[in-house]
Amino acid sequence: MDKNKDNSFLNRYYQEYKLRDRIRLSLILSMVLYPSFLILDAIVTPSRLRAFLIIRLVVILINATQLFSLRFLKTSKSLLNMGMSLLVIDACGISLMVFLMGGFASFYYQGLTLVIMVMMVILPFSFKEAAITMSLAWATYFIPSLFIINGQSAALRAVARLFNLSEEIQGWRIAVNNLFFLTSIIIIAIIASSVMDNVRRRELRSRIKLEETTARLQESNVKLKSLDELKTQFFSNVNHELRTPLTLILAPLKAVLEGRMGKLSPTHKDTLETMQRNGYKLLKLISNLLDLNKLEEGRMRLRLKNVNLVDFIPPLLAAVKPLADQRQVRLYCQNPPHPVDLTLDPDQFEKVVFNLLSNALKFTSKGGKITIYVEEKDRTVTMTVEDTGIGIPEDMLETIFDRFSQVDGSKSRAQAGTGIGLALAREIVLVHKGSIRAESELGRGSRFIVEMLKGEEHFDDEVLDRRSEDMPIGLRRRLTDTNEPHVRDIVSDFRRRQLVDLEKVDIESGRVDKAKIHDALILCIDDNPEVLKLMKMLLADDYDLELVSSAEKGLAFLKAKNPDLVLCDVMMPGMDGHAFARAVKKDESLKHIPVILVTARTGAEMLAEGMQAGADDYISKPFDSTELKARIRGQLRLRQMEAELSLVNRNLRMRTSDLVDQQKSLFLSTVKSLASAIDAKDGYTSHHSTRVTEFTVKIAKKMGISGKELGDLELAALLHDVGKIAVPESVLNKPGKLTDEEFELIKDHPVRGESILSPVVELKEIARIVRSHHERYDGTGYPDKLKGRVIPLGSRIMAIADTYDSITSERPYRRPASHRFAVKEIIGCSGTQFDPEVVAHFLETASTFVPNQGQDQEEEAKKA
């Protein structure tokens, strides 16, 4: 593929640079120059004239043969070969003469220089070709001359003698000089050939590229032309296919509205009027687009009439008057007191006036003024529409006449429009050979000046309506299509139709309540009252509605009333739908409210933007009522399910924690009853646990323990002997000395106590205290031989309380001892059995302890 490309490029290259002609020229030049140098031979070396004549003749003969065979060469390669051989042959001839004249020392080497220079300029050699041929030429000079060097030629000697030099030295110098020059020239010629070759190739390449681009352009031009034809065809079809159904909607609608098909209820009438108004809007838009297209393609034909502008303007103003009144804008007209005649197409010119007037009305606020001036000059008439509206920025004064151009191109434009009104007006004025321009002061008002030529000579012949034959066939067919309904026939006030987009629709904002099937409150936000009206019509039966005309108002309502869902338009003046959705979703107290955005634009980008803003759903206009309702239902249902789910979750959490509490208290009461069972089982130690608890708490409080820690300790004290449940009663109550086994059995009770309590997570700490209540401060206790502060504090306290009660109460094996004795015993064991610090606190509170024996004695006394 690439090789083919290369080959075709080379062929083109040699063709472009006329290789054949150049070789022919070189041959001819060689055949002319070779004999002409005989003159030089005759002067410089008359003795060798004959020999040189023969040499020159031979070369010319070869050249002639080459010239003859040139016509038989077909490929560029063979042509190139011939070029190369030509140079070598010419060089051979000269070198032979140089050789005969003494080799290196001969001045005839300059003949070689001449040949090389001429060929370099004429023949388009590449680097490789130049290098081969020139090296060969050099060799024809260099090799034969080598043989003469030793013999010191006669010529060398003669030259040396002439300059009075030592022959040997001078001969060498001249030879080196000649060789040096010739070699340098050859090197330069090779480089120059290659540079020139590159330049030529680059030039050709860009030429080829240019040709390719031109070809492509031509191709697209052809395509564009056919597309253009298609567009024309399409527009003429649109004319029929869109306008016809639209007219067929509007015509019966008009009949229905006029009451020809029975009386209408106010709601029906209202709805049908909305349909009619919007039908007109569409019709106007299509007509404008078609007109503009016709004008731009030069297909607009004018039906000229003579019109007196003074009579022409007032009916147009009258048509605008009701709308101007509605907007509280005053209308004025200033005419000269005499008729002002103009030749124009009244239907078209009317569009210009209406467009200017409707813009003036659109952009002038309440209390403003619009004036039309008609002025006559020598050869022209001007009509000026002046308003006191918002004005136009200076840099936009030109561009507003471009198609689709609007001053505030943002999506939040406060005034509806398409940006074709002024483009159409300008085109119409231009076919009339008039001019239109705008002047304005921002914030003060605008002035549109239309200047028309008087007379009719200036009209181009081809724009005049003669039902011209050069129309596309499709259009011609349409023109003769008699079935097409005429707009004028179905629009009662044709002129008012031009201003349909200015009509004010009143929709009372606020709450709409009816008997609902769902009692959800939906907030609808749209700057277009007709859309709000439509929503009311579609949704009022099912939901409570709040209708507002801006996102700002919507946000305020949202904060005050917390509705269940929001339907919000995207493109609105001021805050748009996306900004609204963002504001709602950013607010913690509002973000749960679903927001559905409604937009006329479609496309993935728009959707992504909406979703990014936090909208919950998206619906595009025109929406279908079933779809709208389904989306609303979906969102409401989702929210309801979410709310239900979170309620269920909360209940579940509460129930779980109740259950845990119940379980805990159940366990505790079981364990407590166990503890009292033990106290009961151990006849002698009755109420032991209760007393130990009392003492423990007293000491702990002295130590500053409180809160949960104190509670845990209290429980631990109450349950400290729960492990004794596993010790047989006979052992517990044995009056005599215990055997080793029996003692081991008793010593096991702290561990058992722990294992009874530890299954309940909340009792883990209590279990640890219980396990260690028989540990001793010096590390000789049981079960773990813990030492010092490693023993839990609670256990250290309990150990003292336990010992105090044991000493002061009766045991099967001994009588109860006195309080003083017990205190003394405990002091004696401080630092060995007990923690000295706890002992100190015990001593502070011990006086409040009531020993068991006292109680028992009292009880016995009572019994007695």
| CA distance linking residue 636 with residue 523, whole number of Å | 13
- Residue 73: CB atoms within 10 Å: 17
Should residue 141 be labelled a site residue for ligand ADP when binding is judged by CB under 6 A? no
Helices H / strands E in the chain, number of each: 31, 13
Should residue 852 be labelled a site residue for ligand ADP when binding is judged by CB under 6 A? no
Does the bond joining 563 to the residue before it have cis omega, within 30 degrees of 0? Answer: no
Please calculate the CA angle 40-44-45 and round it to the nearest 5 degrees.
Answer: 110
Q: Which of 176, 85, 66, 70 is nearest to 137 (CA)?
A: 85
Q: Which of residues 757-776 bind ligand ADP (CB under 6 A)?
A: none
The two tokens of residue 76 are: 């560029």
- Of 167 and 402, nearer to ligand ADP (C-beta) is 402
Should residue 498 be labelled a site residue for ligand ADP when binding is judged by CB under 6 A? no
- Of 417 and 812, nearer to ligand ADP (C-beta) is 417
- Least distance in angstroms from the C-beta of 342 to ligand ADP: 23
Should residue 412 be labelled a site residue for ligand ADP when binding is judged by CB under 6 A? no
Stretch that binds ligand ADP, among 50-58, 114-122, 153-161, 383-391 (CB under 6 A): 383-391
The two tokens of residue 491 are: 């629009």
Q: Which of residues 427-486 bind ligand ADP (CB under 6 A)?
A: 446
Largest CA distance in the chain: 182
CA dihedral 130, 120, 83, 38 (to 10 degrees): -120
Residue 741, amino acid: E
- Least distance in angstroms from the C-beta of 371 to ligand ADP: 12
- Least distance in angstroms from the C-beta of 243 to ligand ADP: 20
Stretch that binds ligand ADP, among 249-257, 343-351, 354-362, 662-670 (CB under 6 A): 354-362
Q: Which of 372, 374, 373, 360 is nearest to 329 (CA)?
A: 360
Q: How many Å is the Cα radius of gyration of the chain?
A: 59
- Of 384 and 853, nearer to ligand ADP (C-beta) is 384
Q: Judged by CB under 6 A, how many residues of this single chain contact ligand ADP?
A: 21
- Of 400 and 558, nearer to ligand ADP (C-beta) is 400
Should residue 418 be labelled a site residue for ligand ADP when binding is judged by CB under 6 A? yes
Interface pattern 528-567 for ligand ADP (x via CB under 6 A): ----------------------------------------
**What's the gap between Cα 637 and its chain centre?**
32
The two tokens of residue 180 are: 């040096």
Secondary structure letter of residue 327 according to DSSP: T
Q: Which of 53, 196, 187 is nearest to 113 (CA)?
A: 187
Sequential DSSP letters for 94-128:
HHHHHHHTTGGG-TTHHHHHHHHHHHHHHS---HH
Q: Which of 100, 109, 129, 123 is nearest to 185 (CA)?
A: 109
Q: Which of residues 701-760 bind ligand ADP (CB under 6 A)?
A: none
Q: Pick from 390, 520, 628, 756: which binds ligand ADP (CB under 6 A)?
A: 390
Q: Pick from 105, 116, 340, 407: which binds ligand ADP (CB under 6 A)?
A: 407
Should residue 392 be labelled a site residue for ligand ADP when binding is judged by CB under 6 A? yes
Q: Pick from 119, 313, 344, 422: which binds ligand ADP (CB under 6 A)?
A: 422
The two tokens of residue 335 are: 């005419």
Q: Pick from 144, 346, 419, 812: which binds ligand ADP (CB under 6 A)?
A: 419
| CA distance linking residue 563 with residue 321, whole number of Å | 42
- Of 421 and 723, nearer to ligand ADP (C-beta) is 421
Please calculate the CA angle 709-712-714 and round it to the nearest 5 degrees.
Answer: 110
- Least distance in angstroms from the C-beta of 284 to ligand ADP: 10
Sequential DSSP letters for 647-659:
HHHHHHHHHHHHH
Residue in the block written with tokens 């503890």: 675
| CA distance linking residue 807 with residue 852, whole number of Å | 9
- Least distance in angstroms from the C-beta of 570 to ligand ADP: 19
- Least distance in angstroms from the C-beta of 423 to ligand ADP: 6
Q: Pick from 27, 67, 174, 400: which binds ligand ADP (CB under 6 A)?
A: 400
List alpha helices for 463-562, DSSP H: 473-479, 487-490, 494-497, 529-539, 551-561
* Secondary element (H or E) of residue 623: none
Q: Exposure of 848 by Cβ count < 10 A (0-12 exposed, 13-18 middle, 19+ buried)?
A: exposed
- Of 401 and 580, nearer to ligand ADP (C-beta) is 401
- Of 401 and 695, nearer to ligand ADP (C-beta) is 401
- Least distance in angstroms from the C-beta of 238 to ligand ADP: 19
- Of 97 and 424, nearer to ligand ADP (C-beta) is 424
- Of 262 and 409, nearer to ligand ADP (C-beta) is 409
- Least distance in angstroms from the C-beta of 431 to ligand ADP: 17
Stretch that binds ligand ADP, among 102-110, 141-149, 413-421, 679-687 (CB under 6 A): 413-421
Should residue 389 be labelled a site residue for ligand ADP when binding is judged by CB under 6 A? yes
Q: Pick from 41, 376, 387, 427: which binds ligand ADP (CB under 6 A)?
A: 387
The answer to whether the CB of 219 falls within 8 A of the CB of 227 is no
Stretch that binds ligand ADP, among 355-363, 490-498, 740-748, 759-767 (CB under 6 A): 355-363
Q: Pick from 45, 192, 269, 417: which binds ligand ADP (CB under 6 A)?
A: 417
Does the bond joining 622 to the residue before it have cis omega, within 30 degrees of 0? Answer: yes
- Of 120 and 292, nearer to ligand ADP (C-beta) is 292
Q: Pick from 79, 98, 319, 360: which binds ligand ADP (CB under 6 A)?
A: 360
- Of 97 and 423, nearer to ligand ADP (C-beta) is 423
Q: Pick from 271, 287, 382, 406: which binds ligand ADP (CB under 6 A)?
A: 406
- Least distance in angstroms from the C-beta of 355 to ligand ADP: 6
The two tokens of residue 746 are: 């008793």
- Least distance in angstroms from the C-beta of 526 to ligand ADP: 20
Q: Which of 366, 371, 370 is nearest to 328 (CA)?
A: 366
Q: Going by C-beta distance under 8 Å and a sequence separation of 6 or more, which residues neighbour residue 3? A: none
580-596 per-residue burial string, b: 16 or more CB within 10 A, e: under 16 = bbbbbbeeeebeebbbb
- Of 498 and 803, nearer to ligand ADP (C-beta) is 498
* Positions that interact with ligand ADP (CB under 6 A): 355, 359-360, 363, 387, 389-392, 400, 405-407, 417-423, 446
